[in-house]
Amino acid sequence: MSDEASVSALPEHELTATSSTVVYANRWMTVREDLTLRYDGVEGVYGVVQKPDFALVVPYADGGFHLVEQYRYTVGGRYWEFPQGSWEGRPDADPLVLARGELAEETGLTAGSMTPLGHLFAAYGFADQGCHVLLATDLTAGGTDLDETEAGLISRWFPEPEVWQLIADGRIKDAPTIAALALFQRHRAQLT
């Protein structure tokens, strides 16, 4: 049997939860442990982090990108990335509204045009969080509105070749940022 035939023979849901227990929750996330049953009868355990989707903005102007740099506690370092975030008080916020808000908050920029580039999963091996990627163009400068969790965040424009160098130098390690660059390149190629 070919690999394609064996995959098509699998049920739609190969793994189902037989029970679910919340083991931790705060205003940003819920962590649960599911007892699971695979389609072939094998039981298991799966840990799941539930977080609301976030918006990631690709602010493009003058042949380059506006990036933000901030300290990321979980990895103990400062890295450059595209503006991004979610609103824990409004987890169901419209992605376009969320993107405009995050862009203005972190960079002070407003966009005359916002183009959806795609939806990605941030780390679907353990989390259900998705990422809405939007291209921001026709940018106008303004003042930032950082909240207390963004203390130390800085914003700067980089020409596109320097962004690729930041990746090569390990100064951009954010997977959604790098994936968003791929979506941007695909979008740009479709326009030519």
> What residues does each domain of the chain span?
3-50, 54-191
For 92, left (φ over 0), alpha (ψ -120 to 50), or beta?
alpha
- Range from 9-18, 85-94, 112-121, 181-190 carrying the lowest mean pLDDT: 9-18
Tens digits of residue pLDDT in 117-164: 999 999 999 999 999 999 999 999 998 888 777 788 999 999 999 999
How far is Cα 142 from Cα 107, in angstroms, rounded to an integer?
A: 8
pLDDT of residue 15: 87
As given in the structure block, the two tokens for residue 88 are 């824990």
In this prediction, residue 55 has a pLDDT band, given cuts at 50, 70 and 90, of: very high
What architecture is domain 54-191?
Alpha-Beta Complex (3.90)
Amino acid at 133: V
As given in the structure block, the two tokens for residue 99 are 């993107």
Contact 70, 150 (CB under 8 A): yes
CB atoms closer than 10 angstroms to residue 46: 13
Amino acid at 128: D
Q: Is 114 helix (H, G, I), strand (E, B) or coil?
A: strand
